[in-house]
Chains A and B, each alone.
Chain A
Amino acid sequence: MRIGLFIPCYIDAFFPKVGIATLDLLERFGHEVVYPRDQTCCGQPMANSGFNAECAATEALFVRNFSGFDYVVGPSGSCVHHVRNNFDAIDQGAEVKEVRARTYELVEFLHDIQKVDAFPWARFPHRVGLHNSCGTLRRLKHARPSELHEPFFSKPIDLLSKVDGIEFVQPARPDECCGFGGTFSVFEEVVSTKMGYDKVSDHARAGAEYIVSADTSCLMHQQGCAERIGVPMKFIHIAQILNGESA
C-alpha cells in the first residue's frame, strides 16, 4: 500500500522519535510510506478554539498534501479525529471526503486495516500504564470507555499484549482525562495542570514505570506535570514500543 505519513506539528518539532518509529513500523509491513514535505498541521488548534473559518487554508493544504494515497496514517488521535470528524471549514468535494475517510490513526490502522498478529521485533519488559487519550477513546473508539455498558475491548491493549515482556498496571481512574485538551491546557492552565498531576500520580500509585499512549500531546502535558511535581515517570508513544524500542 502507498501510505501518506501525517506527522503533526508538535511531533515534528518536539518528538521526532515518534515520527521515526511510525515511519519504521509502517515500512516493516512492506508499505511505501511517503512523507509529504509541505505538510504543517491539520487545523485543530484553531478549530478547537471555535475559529473554524481560520482553518480553511490549512485544511485545503492538508488535502493537497494527502490526496491520492491508499491511506493517510498519523500517530496522533486528536489530529486524526479532527480530520475525520470536524474538518469542515472547506467545501466537502469528492477529494476532501476521500482524504478524510482514508485518514487513520496508527493504532486503528495496525489493528483494523493491517490486522497485525505479531511484533516479533518488539520487547518491552516494563510495567506500563496505558493512557487512552479522550480523542482516541471516545471519538475514534479505540476502546470501551468506562461509562458505557458495553463489552470490553481495547485496540491498544490488543496490540501491546503482543509485545514480549510487557506488563500492564491499572490506575484507579483508567480513563479520566489528563487535562491536556488542546487550547484548554493554556486557557485553564491551573485546572489543566491539576488534572495532569492527578493523572501521573494515579499511574505512579498503580506502579507504572512508563505511561504509554497513542497521543503524544497528552504525554507532553503529563511529562511536564510529572517533572514539575517530581513524579519519576517515563513516557513513551505506542509506536516506539511496537517498533521495538526497548527503552
Chain B
Amino acid sequence: MTITSESTGDASSMLHPELCADHDEAPTSPGGRRLDHAEGASKPMRSRPEPQPRGAKVNGNRPIDQAEAAARFIAAPEHEKMHDERLWDLRQKRDREMRHIPEWEELRSLASAIKEHTLTHLDDYLDQFETRARANGVHVHWARDAAEHNRIVHGILSDHGVKSLIKSKSMLTEECGFRQYMASVGIEVVETDLGERIQQLDKEDPSHVVVPAVHKLRTDVAKVFANTIGTTPDNSDVHYLAEAQREATRPLILAADAGMTGANFVVAKTGTFVVCTNEGNADLSANVPKLHIASIGIEKIIPRLEHLAVFVRLLSRSALGSPMTQYTSHFRGPRAGGEMHVVLVDNGRSERLGLEEFWTSLKCIRCGACMNTCPVYRRSGGLSYGATYPGPIGLIIDPTFNARKYSNLPFASSLNGSCTNVCPVKINIHEQIYAWRRELVKRHEVPLAKKAAMIAAGELLSRPAAYRAAIASADVALAHLPRFVIYNGLNVWGKHREVPHPAKHTFHSWHQANRGDRL
C-alpha cells in the first residue's frame, strides 16, 4: 500500500490549453529572440469562439437565481473548464507556498487574532488613525454609506475642477456603485487594473475580487477590445491585446486630473495606508495626478506597522500563490504641491459588527482564496452570484446588504468547508453560511413551498409508524425519500444523474426477518 501525502499533480499538465503559451513558439527574429512587437506574436483565433455566458439576471429586489446563472455558465464548457482549471491552479500554487512556510497555521491564527482585536477596538484605532493622518497632512473624511461616499468624492473632485479620474481596483467602490455615479455627474473614470479595465470596457462587474476578468477567455477580451479600443477582431493574441490596451490607456492616465485608490491595510499608529498590486497601477493612479483620493472600508485598519508583516506574508500567498505582490506601496501624505484625501467608509460595516454570528466576516482581507478553492464558484463563475462579492465570502456578506435579494446565495454551497481552511484570517465561512440559512428562515426569506416541505418532512420523520408506512417497500421508498430534499414536485435528482437502484428490502425489514429475536 502506498499513498503520497501531498498532491503530486504536474503543474503544467493542470493548465488548460487556454493558459499554455502556444503562441510563444513563434515568431522569432533571425537572431532567435522572440519578437517584441505584439502584432508579430499574434495568431488568428479559432474560427468560432464560444460566446461568453453572462451573469445572473438582476431584477430589482427579487432574489438572485444563482443556480440559473450557474447552469448557463456550465452550458458553456470552454469557459467553465478554463475557469475551473485556472482557479484550481491558483489554489495549487497557494498550497505550494503554504508548504514553504513552517509557521503557516500560526500566521493564520495571528492574523485572525490581530483582526479580532482591532475590530473589537475599532473606534479607538480609527480615532488614532485620523489624528495621525491629519498630522501627516492628509484630509480625512467619514462616509456613513455608499451615497455619502460618492457625494464626498464628487465634492473633492468638483473643488479641483476634475474632469477625468484614474483609479485602481477597489471592491469598496464597486459596493458604492461609484463608476455609475461618476458617469451620472459627467466625470470620466478610467480603471488602471488590466482586468478591471476589461470589465469596465465590457460594462460588466468584476467576477472575482483579485482577478476580475478571470471568467473571460482571451477570445472574449478580443471581442471587447475590438468593440471599444479598435483592435483587430479576429486577433486574440494576449501580447497584442495587452499592448493595445496599454497604448490606449496610457495617454488617459497621463492626462488624468485626479487619481483614486483603495487600500489593503490602514495602520493606526502611523496614520498610513498600504496598497498591494501586481501591476503597479495603484502607484500610477496615486502618483501621476496631483490629487490622490483613497476610499477605505473602516475594517481595513490594523494597529501597528509590525502587524502588517503578518498580513503581507499571507495575502499574496493565499490569493495567487506568489510570495508577495509585486508592489506593496505605503502612502503617508501628499507629495509637494499635491493633495491627499482619505474617505473612511462604513456602508453597513458597523451594523455587521453587531451581528453576533457574522461579525468576524469583517476580518476578510479580500484575497479571494475562498473563491479559488470553492468547487461551486469555480463551476459557476463569479457573475452568477449577481452581487458585489461572489463566492463563499460573498454568501455571508451579501445578505447583510440585502437579505431578500441575496436570500438564495447561502444555499449555493455544498457546505464542504474548504473555504474556511484556506482563509488566511480564519473566518469560519462555511459555518456562517449554515447560520445564514437559519437566519433567512427566521426572517421568512425562503420560498413557502420549501417551508411546507420541510414542515412535512419534520412531521413524518418524528413519527416512526407513519415513516415506516411511507417507506414500507423499496419502491415506495424511492417515491417518497426524495421528498426530503425535493420541494418543487419535479424529480430534480434524476435530471442529470441516475436515481439509486431500489434495494430488495430495507435494512429495517432485513433486520426484522434476520435478527427479530433481538428486539
Contact = CB atoms under 8 A, between A and B. Distances in A.
B515 interface: yes
Bin the interface of chain B by size.
Answer: 35 or more
Contacts of A247: none
A181 B74 contact: no
Interface in B436-470: 436-441, 446, 450-451, 454-455, 457-462, 464, 467
A194 B376 CA distance: 9
B414 interface: yes
Nearest to A227: B498
Given A50-B440, A188-B70, A40 B421 contact: no
Interface residues of A, number: 87
Contacts of A147: 95, 373, 418, 421-422
Given A168-B3, A186-B492, A149 B105 contact: yes
Given A13-B481, A172-B14, A181 B414 contact: yes
Main secondary structure of the interface of B (DSSP, over half): helix
A174 interface: yes
A40 B503 CA distance: 18
Contact of B497 (A9, A52, A191, A221): A221
Given A49-B450, A195-B379, A189 B496 contact: yes
Given A61-B462, A186-B493, A45 B485 contact: yes
A35 B515 CA distance: 9
Given A20-B510, A34-B518, A149-B104, A9 B71 contact: no
A16 B510 contact: yes
B308 interface: no
B486 interface: yes
Interface in A29-57: 34-35, 37-41, 43, 45-46, 48-52, 54-57
B414 A54 contact: no
Interface string B117-131: 000000000000000
A152 B462 contact: no
B101 interface: yes
Interface string A144-171: 1111111010100100110000111010
B327 interface: no
Contacts of B412: 187-188, 191
Interface in A175-214: 175-177, 179-196, 198
Contact of B508 (A37, A150, A195): A37
Interface stretch (B4-12, B51-59, B290-298): B4-12
B498 A12 contact: no
Interface string B478-511: 1001101110000011111111111111111011
A19 B507 contact: yes
Counting chain B CB atoms within 10 Å of each CB, the highest count among A50, A167, A184, A224 belongs to A50
B360 interface: no
B61 interface: no
A50 B515 contact: no
B474 interface: yes
Interface of A: 7, 9-17, 19-20, 23, 34-35, 37-41, 43, 45-46, 48-52, 54-58, 60-61, 86, 134, 138-139, 144-150, 152, 154, 157, 160-161, 166-168, 170, 172-177, 179-196, 198, 220-221, 223-225, 227-228
14 contacts: A14-B500, A19-B511, A50-B436, A57-B459, A61-B464, A134-B415, A138-B430, A144-B5, A148-B421, A150-B105, A170-B4, A182-B414, A224-B499, A225-B497
